């Protein structure tokens, strides 16, 4: 069995209840793909299902925590073989912190969701030959900011993980997408009422003149799924952030 055509593909999106993961799910359903979104919160997953526009594809949700190996074993035992797996999951709340006030527990939460979790996902996902596994890294690995050492380190490690697993898991393809600033719900926590103003300030610094949208990242991820000659690659979708 090899990776299927678009109309019969089965894709799992871990972290698919909001932001980039939800945008990816919506785009895939519009193409006719069978999508399973997975996350830790049943209520958020149910709400996400309702927001995906109807299309030729289907969407279902499954509660699964990427940091819990038993959850991932159960998820793929239930689903069987799939064509593509993507993870956008990350616990970044409190992850940005100056070294002088470094909180190891918050760092462990980030590492568990964004680095160890993807390793467990790779271990248990049943991906058909020629299918793909896509991680979500980030521009912090290449343009780190003060207070962002741990975020930069984990994002950089994801790139190395993609390189290593591309060799180990082939012909399954393993890649990472590295977004820049993207308008996702996390900004409501980071900036609150000042979000719009903050976004305008960030956009002015980028060559493209705007920050990213979840759909921008979703299309990049779909591109990696469709191109069967790309593996062990980090695809930068950052509006030129690395250049400024």
**CATH number of the domain to which 228 belongs:** 3.40.50.720
Residue 1: inside a domain, yes or no?
no
The packing angle between helices 19-31 and 42-51, to 10°, is 40
Burial class from Cβ neighbours inside 10 Å (0-12, 13-18, 19+) for residue 163 reads: middle
Q: Per-residue pLDDT for the chain (244 aa), expressed as one digit of tens each?
A: 455 556 689 999 999 999 999 999 999 999 999 999 999 999 999 999 999 999 999 999 999 999 999 999 999 999 999 999 999 999 877 778 888 888 898 899 999 999 999 999 999 999 999 999 999 999 999 999 899 999 999 999 999 999 999 999 999 999 999 999 999 877 777 667 888 898 999 999 999 999 999 999 999 999 999 999 999 999 999 999 999 9
Helices (H), the chain: 19-31, 42-51, 69-79, 104-111, 117-124, 149-169, 186-190, 195-203, 214-226
Which residues does residue 85 pair with via DSSP β-bridges, in sequence order?
A: 12, 133
User: Which residues span the domain enclosing 80?
Assistant: 6-234
Residue 185: inside a domain, yes or no?
yes
pLDDT tens digits for 155-170?
Answer: 999 999 999 999 999 9
For residue 1, what pLDDT is reported? 46
When computed from its CA atoms, the radius of gyration of the chain, rounded to whole angstroms, is 17
Task: Give the chain's domain count.
Answer: 1
Residue 79: inside a domain, yes or no?
yes
Residue 196: inside a domain, yes or no?
yes
For residue 185, what pLDDT is reported? 78
Residue 86: inside a domain, yes or no?
yes
Q: Has this prediction a pTM greater than 0.85?
A: yes
Residue 244: inside a domain, yes or no?
no
pLDDT tens digits for 84-128?
Answer: 999 999 987 777 888 888 889 889 999 999 999 999 999 999 999
Residue 135: inside a domain, yes or no?
yes
Residue 80: inside a domain, yes or no?
yes
pLDDT tens digits for 29-38?
Answer: 999 999 999 9
């Amino acid at each position: 069995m090899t990776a299927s055509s678009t109309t019969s593909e089965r894709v799992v999106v871990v972290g698919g209840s909001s932001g980039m993961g939800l945008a990816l799910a919506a785009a895939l359903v519009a193409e006719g793909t069978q999508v399973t979104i997975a996350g830790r919160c049943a209520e958020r997953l149910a709400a996400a299902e309702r927001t995906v526009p109807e299309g030729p594809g289907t969407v279902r949700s499954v509660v699964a925590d990427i940091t819990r190996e038993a959850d991932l074993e159960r998820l793929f035992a239930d689903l069987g073989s799939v064509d593509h797996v993507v993870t956008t999951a990350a616990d970044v709340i409190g992850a940005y912190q100056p070294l002088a006030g470094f909180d190891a527990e918050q760092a462990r939460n980030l590492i568990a969701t964004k680095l160890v979790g993807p390793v467990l996902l790779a271990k248990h996902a049943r991906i058909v030959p020629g299918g793909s596994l896509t991680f979500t890294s980030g521009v912090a690995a290449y343009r780190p900011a003060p207070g962002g050492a741990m975020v930069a380190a984990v994002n950089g490690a994801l790139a190395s993980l993609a390189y290593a697993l591309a060799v180990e898991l082939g012909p399954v393809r393993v890649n990472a997408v590295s977004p820049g600033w993207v308008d996702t719900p996390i900004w409501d926590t980071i900036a609150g009422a000042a979000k719009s103003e903050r976004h305008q300030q960030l956009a002015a610094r980028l060559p493209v003149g705007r920050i990213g949208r979840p759909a921008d990242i979703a299309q990049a991820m779909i591109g990696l799924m469709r191109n069967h000659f790309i593996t062990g690659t980090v695809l930068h979708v950052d509006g030129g952030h690395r250049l400024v």
